[in-house]
Amino acid sequence: MGAIACVAAVTAFAAEPKPEAAINNKNVDAHVFLDEKIKQDAVLSADCLSEGRSWINKQAADAAALRRRDPALFHNGGWSFERRYAVRSVVDGHYISIVRSDYMDTGGAHPNYYVDTILWDSTEKKRISIRPFFIETADSGQTMTALLNGVIASLKIEKKKRDAIETANAQWFESLEPKLLKIGAVTLAPSTESGKSSGLTFHYAPYAVGPYAEGEYVGFVPWEALKPFLTAEGTRIFAGARPEGDEDGTQ
């Protein structure tokens, strides 16, 4: 190996983050990663790490049971699992939006990816929902219906950008409902105005609103569309515009 290649290999190895939790045996290679912003908050870090450890422990236990029942499932070796927690935005200094991404390779035709989100209140030191920002969030109510309409409109625009017009139809949005737990994993979008949020972003893994080949989608509903439904707290934290380059929801 040439000198340049050696340096590149060493640099890449050094840059690889160390997992906060790991299980490595004949059945699984599983890891949990927290980004540096999360690790700066001891309570938040402990919360995420506890959840992450529980997840990889379950994957390891399930894989061990499956190997005992059907060893042929592991003919190519152990399965791979990875969970990453990454801060998406910090609003008003204490509302922290986190994207939780899961990678799972169990020997199928391709790996699977899942996404969920966490909204953390560092003042109250607990997970919360977006309910405090809205006057009402009843299932199929005005707020949730408006949010769903906004999400679908946004996703159709994203599909057009990817030349995926043929999947921008009702079939791929049937799993979304005007309910807080059925509309998608939500985060507070960052804003061009410091300390504020420009609206809500909704995160969808492959297969959720399109074929696997289309990858992940992020729908965006600007705060201006939410004005009629906001509480005083919601009115206070929303302002500004969505930053350029935020389309993938990882700003």
- Complete domains list, the chain, with CATH: 3-128 (3.30.565.40), 131-237 (3.90.640.20)
Task: Tell me the per-residue pLDDT of 12-37, one tens digit each, with 9 for 90 and over.
Answer: 445 678 999 999 999 999 999 999 99
Task: Tell me the per-residue pLDDT of 42-59, one tens digit each, with 9 for 90 and over.
Answer: 999 999 999 999 999 999
**Confidence band of 228 (pLDDT split at 50, 70, 90):** very high
User: Tokens at residue 61, please?
Assistant: 């236990």
The proportion of the chain whose per-residue pLDDT surpasses 70, expressed as a percent, equals 92
Mean pLDDT, the chain, as a whole number? 92
Is 11 a residue whose pLDDT tops 60?
A: no
| DSSP states of the chain | --HHHHHHHHHHHHHSPPPSEEEESSSEEEEEEE-HHHHTSHHHHHHHHHHHHHHHHHHHHHHHHHHHH-GGGGTT--EEEEEEEEEEEEETTTEEEEEEEEEEE-SSSS-EEEEEEEEEETTTTEEE-SGGGBS---TTSHHHHHHHHHHHHHHHHHHHHTT-GGG-SGGGGTT--SSTTTS-EEEEEP-SSTT-B-EEEEEE-TTTSS-GGG--EEEEEEGGGGGGGB-HHHHHHB-S-PPTT-TTS--
pLDDT for 15 equals 62
